[in-house]
Amino acid sequence: GEDVEQSLFLSVREGDSSVINCTYTDSSSTYLYWYKQEPGAGLQLLTYIFSNMDMKQDQRLTVLLNKKDKHLSLRIADTQTGDSAIYFCAESILRAGGYQKVTFGIGTKLQVIP
Amino acid sequence: NAGVTQTPKFRILKIGQSMTLQCAQDMNHNYMYWYRQDPGMGLKLIYYSVGAGITDKGEVPNGYNVSRSTTEDFPLRLELAAPSQTSVYFCASSHKGSGANVLTFGAGSRLTVL
């Protein structure tokens, strides 16, 4: 079945790079996602990557996908205090009728130290 | 364009009481979802709907009911509230398409059952 795992906590200093890692079990994932949740708010999509891509870059964000090892990472360059949040990894798998089932990890809490 | 709107934001219930969490979206999305979020547990899918009149169980449906009479609305009903249902509830919606399944989340409803 689908399972997405990520570590619970990461602490970095302001200005450093942050790397949040995620592993998933289902090799038939079609897309992998990163969502951000700020305190008291819902999740917001940060970025996603198609499963046949290795890398995607969007300003300070770099997503790396190793499909062989089923490993996804999110790198945030020049981490700022405003990046402090919980980051969720997710995968989607195509089901009958064209529905893409999305499974979320438990979230990694990023703490940025000034 | 309000996105996904959830009401109420906060509610305290006594054991055995009933209530409905409301969710509405104005993006004409086909898919709608209800998740609960507990500390350290990530997001668990309660129910989802692929269109008006169609609902299906997620991972943790016991103690909840849903209906989808219109495309816009997807209420979640708790019939006999229990302390185990203390949680933060998120409604989300997404567009049916051939690409990534990107979810738009509401701001959440914090429910406490005493």
The predicted-structure confidence for A3-48, as pLDDT tens digits, reads as follows 899 989 999 999 999 999 999 998 888 999 999 999 989 999 999 9
SS3 B96: coil
What is the model's pLDDT at position B111?
97
CB proximity list for A55: less than 8 A, separation 6 or greater = A49, A62, A63, A64, A65
In chain B, residues with a C-beta closer than 8 Å to the C-beta of A40 are 107-108
Which pLDDT value is given to residue A1?
A: 59
| Strand pairing class (A29-37; A85-94) | antiparallel
CA distance B38 to A54: 32
Interface-testing mutation among A31, A43, A89, with chain B (most B C-beta atoms within 10 A):
A43
In tens, the pLDDT along A41-73 reads: 999 999 999 999 999 999 999 999 999 999 999
Contacts for A34 with CB less than 8 Å, ≥ 6 apart: A20, A45, A46, A47, A48, A61, A63, A72, A74, A87, A88, A89, A90
Integer Cα distance of A99 and B50 in angstroms: 8
How many other CB atoms are there within 10 angstroms of residue A59's CB atom? 8
pLDDT band at B99 (very low <50, low <70, confident <90, very high): confident
pLDDT on residue A48: 96
Q: Beta strands of chain A (E only): which ranges?
A: 4-6, 9-13, 18-24, 29-37, 43-50, 55-58, 61-66, 71-76, 85-94, 100-104, 108-113
pLDDT at A2: 66
B42 CB neighbours in chain A (<8 A) are 88, 104-107
pLDDT tens digit string along B16-56? 999 999 999 999 999 999 999 998 888 999 999 999 999 99
